[in-house]
Amino acid sequence: MDIQDLFQQLKNNKRDTELVNKAWRFALQAHKGQKRFSGEDYIIHPLSTAYILAKMGLDSPTVAAALLHDVADDTPITIQDIEKEFGKEIAFLVSGVTKLGKIKFRGKTRQIENLRKMFLAMAEDIRVVLIKIADRLHNMETLSAVPERKHQRIALETLEIYAPLANRLGMGELKGQLEDLSFPYIYPEEYQWLADNVRERYEERKKYLKRVEPILEEILAREQIRPVEIHSRAKHYFSLYKKLLKNDRDFDKIYDLVALRIILRNIDDCYAALGIIHQRWRPLLGRIKDYIALPKPNGYQSLHTTIFCNGGKITEIQLRTPEMHERAEHGIAAHWAYNEKGKPRSGVVVDSRELAWVKQLTEWQSQLGNSEEFLESLKIDFFKDRIFVFTPKGDVVDLPEGATPVDFAYQIHSEIGHQCAGARINGKVAPLNYNLKNGDVVEILIQRNKKPSASWLDFVKTNTAISRIKDIVKKPYRIPTPPPQKSAKIKLTASDRIGLIKDVSSVISNSKINILNFDSLNQDSDVVVNATVEIKNKLQMERLLRKLKDVRGVKKIEENF
Ligand code: MN
């Protein structure tokens, strides 16, 4: 596509064309005469970056900032000039992206520094990181023109940082693209092997599914269900490659090589269609997944099933609404798509629960600094696939795949972790190193005054658990000389909600106050928490009360200190 066509496409995707036009003219002028490694005009790069974001439905300020994102770096124009011309918001976005670009370090330190900056930027305005990811996507698309000595580093950084980030933000399509673009640079032989082996299979499967589509349409129509769309989706190369490694490189074991995707008008239709499909084709045991009732932690929703389709061919089918589809492809960016109806919403605040992990990250990185330990724990705690498990009361706890009951216990409260003596999973006693599965109900059995065991370090997965256990295990000879403390009772009444108990207990433990006893009971729509805590002085108690009052839903607090 030539530059003018591409710009026309970009404008077709936006409503506030005046702002986009202005940014376009400004960037065009600023980059005049500059060329990329490929010999093309430089402007093609910011334009392509902006186009990626516009297609995802991002707001006009973000698209304008994308057009301007390299101006302050590569031309005499400064951030102040941009602010004068475009205002604070756009200047902020551009300077955020520019700062992310300036990483001085090399090797591992560079990666850590890069991530650290990403998280800080994300905590301030997620759009900065979205621009950076789009910028990287276009740079990867054109990487072959860049000097070869840079390929490895850029591709590895993409695979280890940008793709996991996109995944964590729920941007499934982008994550797949970033991985597939890095794949041939990092594992050239493996890539070639896969490409050689997969092409025909993809074609064959697609043809097969094309023949299934009309049958599906017919059986659904008989029950008055008319899908918005049916299409088939080939698995991305890199995720296919990873799956093959787990399955003896046997293509026949990959049921979702090409999956059939049905987009339906609403949730009722999704469940109804699932039933109709199962009446026609027998489902494989244990492969029906209800991510509508139980979304993945990154927000992904759909129904999945695997059936013995016509001719006994094992086929995966995914059912979802158009909103879920948008969300699955574009993740966090989908927030803008729904909110920009003629009038762009700026400085969008994304659901705070959704980005709670970003906040947590920012806190951790300030504790752990630029250590390799930080990077390693990040890779486990945040970039691994997540699972949801439940407390017996139905509170949701979000953990990395492979986490154990001990990780769960520490996630709830460090004392519960320390005193953890056993676990019941879905009502059955299970070992402490049991691998938790999505949807498990976990109950921790506690033994008072118990200490954590060093052997737990062999199986726990989360950074929280590792560091809490090390706190105790590393200092076995510490003679406890506790300051004089008095035990005090706190009675807290709050309107019940999921997460309340966890919020209350973490306020107490974050204040470094020991909990001697903690229980809760429901009274109508309220919950009453009784806690016995160790308090040093009046001031500490007052501070604690102030923090507890700020917990959402808290109505009343009594204490006897
Ligand atoms: Mn750039």
Cα 142 to averaged position of ligand 1 atoms, centre (Å): 12
Cα 330 to averaged position of ligand 1 atoms, centre (Å): 21
Cα 315 to averaged position of ligand 1 atoms, centre (Å): 41
**Per-residue pLDDT tens digits for 116-164:** 666 666 667 788 888 999 999 999 999 999 999 999 989 988 988 889 8
Predicted confidence (pLDDT) at residue 263 exceeds the cutoff of 80: yes
Cα 203 to averaged position of ligand 1 atoms, centre (Å): 35
Cα 97 to averaged position of ligand 1 atoms, centre (Å): 9
Written as six digits, the tokens of 2 are 């030539």
Cα 73 to averaged position of ligand 1 atoms, centre (Å): 9
Cβ neighbours of residue 474 closer than 8 Å, sequence gap 6 or more: none
pLDDT at 208 (0 to 100) = 92
| Residue 40 zone, left/alpha/beta (φ > 0; ψ -120 to 50; rest) | beta
Instruction: Work out the pLDDT band at 344, boundaries 50, 70, 90.
Output: very low
- Candidates 46, 50, 106; CA nearest to 77 is 46
Cα separation, 357 vs 411, whole angstroms: 13
429 SS3 class: strand
- Candidates 171, 154, 61, 64; CA nearest to 110 is 154
What would the mean pLDDT of 385-403 be, rounded to a whole number? 79
CB neighbourhood size of 474 (10 A): 9
Predicted confidence (pLDDT) at residue 334 exceeds the cutoff of 80: no
Report yes or no: 301 and 279 within 8 Å, Cβ to Cβ.
Answer: no
pLDDT at 359 (0 to 100) = 60
Instruction: Work out the pLDDT band at 114, boundaries 50, 70, 90.
Output: low
Cα 346 to averaged position of ligand 1 atoms, centre (Å): 22
pTM over 0.75: no
Cα 45 to averaged position of ligand 1 atoms, centre (Å): 7
pLDDT at 74 (0 to 100) = 77
pLDDT at 135 (0 to 100) = 94
Per DSSP, 158 falls in state I
Count CA within 13 A, CB hemisphere, residue 102.
11
- Candidates 268, 89, 236, 261; CA nearest to 172 is 236
What would the mean pLDDT of 218-237 be, rounded to a whole number? 94
Question: In Å, what is the CA distance from 85 to each residue of 81, 88, 90, 169?
Answer: 6, 9, 9, 31
Neighbours of ion ligand 1 (CB under 5 A): 70, 135
Cα separation, 51 vs 65, whole angstroms: 12
Cα separation, 120 vs 99, whole angstroms: 11
Cα 358 to averaged position of ligand 1 atoms, centre (Å): 24
pLDDT at 161 (0 to 100) = 83
Cα 188 to averaged position of ligand 1 atoms, centre (Å): 26
Residue type, 353: R
Q: Transcribe 35-104 into DSSP letters.
A: B-TTSSBTTHHHHHHHHHHHHTT--HHHHHHHHTTTHHHHSS--HHHHHHHH-HHHHHHHHHHHHHH---
Question: In Å, what is the CA distance from 79 to each residue of 70, 320, 331?
Answer: 11, 43, 30
Cα 355 to averaged position of ligand 1 atoms, centre (Å): 25
Cβ neighbours of residue 174 closer than 8 Å, sequence gap 6 or more: 133, 137, 166, 330, 331
Report yes or no: 96 and 125 within 8 Å, Cβ to Cβ.
Answer: yes
Written as six digits, the tokens of 338 are 């729904």
Question: In Å, what is the CA distance from 273 to each residue of 263, 277, 281, 302, 305?
Answer: 10, 6, 12, 12, 11
Nearest-5° Cα angle at 101, 96 to 106: 140
Cα 235 to averaged position of ligand 1 atoms, centre (Å): 28
CA 61 to chain centre: 24
Cα 21 to averaged position of ligand 1 atoms, centre (Å): 19
Cβ neighbours of residue 229 closer than 8 Å, sequence gap 6 or more: 262, 263
Written as six digits, the tokens of 209 are 């599914």
**Per-residue pLDDT tens digits for 449-472:** 888 988 999 999 888 888 888 888
Cα 105 to averaged position of ligand 1 atoms, centre (Å): 19
What would the mean pLDDT of 172-194 be, rounded to a whole number? 94
Cα 127 to averaged position of ligand 1 atoms, centre (Å): 15
Decide the pairing of beta strands 314-320 and 258-263.
parallel
Cα separation, 442 vs 445, whole angstroms: 10
- Candidates 139, 140, 131, 142; CA nearest to 171 is 131
Cα 135 to averaged position of ligand 1 atoms, centre (Å): 5
Instruction: Work out the pLDDT band at 249, boundaries 50, 70, 90.
Output: confident
Cα 68 to averaged position of ligand 1 atoms, centre (Å): 9
Cα 305 to averaged position of ligand 1 atoms, centre (Å): 41
Cα 46 to averaged position of ligand 1 atoms, centre (Å): 6
Cα separation, 52 vs 61, whole angstroms: 14
Cα 69 to averaged position of ligand 1 atoms, centre (Å): 6
Cα separation, 406 vs 440, whole angstroms: 14
pLDDT at 475 (0 to 100) = 59
Of 211-225, 358-372, 432-446, the poorest mean pLDDT is in 358-372
Cα 95 to averaged position of ligand 1 atoms, centre (Å): 12
Cα 298 to averaged position of ligand 1 atoms, centre (Å): 27
Residue type, 191: Y
What would the mean pLDDT of 499-509 be, rounded to a whole number? 85
Report yes or no: 376 and 108 within 8 Å, Cβ to Cβ.
Answer: no
Q: Residue 526: beta bridge partners? A: 495, 523
Cα separation, 235 vs 148, whole angstroms: 29
Cα 100 to averaged position of ligand 1 atoms, centre (Å): 11
CA 8 to chain centre: 33
**Per-residue pLDDT tens digits for 193-219:** 999 999 888 999 899 999 999 999 999
Cα 126 to averaged position of ligand 1 atoms, centre (Å): 17
**Which strands sit side by side in the sheet containing 303-308, from one edge to the other?**
229-234, 258-263, 314-320, 303-308, 289-290
